[in-house]
Amino acid sequence: MRAKQLSTNQEHSHVIVLDPGDEVVDELTEWADRHGVRAARLTGIGGFRRVTLGFFDPTSRDFVRIPIDRQTEVLALIGDFAMAEDTRRPELHAHVVVGFPDGAARGGHLLAGEVWPTLEVIVTQSPRYLRRRHDPQTGLTLIDLDVGT
């Protein structure tokens, strides 16, 4: 386990409202890029018209894709932004739980999602810097706390 202080009190929070048809990963990542986000966390609720979840398979070291091609409630969107090692741009890592008309819940790594009717996201931006680095053991890009300010 490793830890890094992200702030004393110079954090900024933002509300982001996504509109019908917005692609959540693209929109949030573009927003973070435009705003110079280098480290942030987020939570959100709303709805998706369709969503693709992922499950990281420990054997294949790849994501199983779980497409859901119907309306769901976004019950819990939780994630963070850190800087990609190669592009030096903010990269979103988010997981989501979605709900169905009978209340059934499913969830996974958020690969893609099309918003409807809204998605209300709160992003808390830190003045610090978080970087992701390729981890050869897993094939994932993991947060590397030894780098940056």
Interacting positions 14-43 with a copy of itself (CB under 8 A): 14-20, 22, 27, 31, 39, 41, 43
CB neighbour class for 94 (10 Å; exposed up to 12, middle 13-18, buried from 19): buried
Residues in a beta bridge with 21:
none
How many residues bind to a copy of itself according to rule CB under 8 A? Answer: 78
**Binding to a copy of itself by residue 90, rule CB under 8 A?**
no
Among 38, 44, 91, 113, binds a copy of itself (CB under 8 A): 44
**Binding to a copy of itself by residue 102, rule CB under 8 A?**
yes
**Binding to a copy of itself by residue 62, rule CB under 8 A?**
no
Among 25, 33, 85, 93, binds a copy of itself (CB under 8 A): 93
**Binding to a copy of itself by residue 112, rule CB under 8 A?**
no
**Binding to a copy of itself by residue 143, rule CB under 8 A?**
yes
Among 79, 83, 92, 131, binds a copy of itself (CB under 8 A): 79
Residues in a beta bridge with 43:
78, 122
**Residue 77's closest CA among 133, 122, 21?**
122
User: What does DSSP assign to residue 86?
Assistant: T
| Buried b / exposed e along 96-106 (16+ C-beta atoms within 10 A) | bbbbeeeeeee
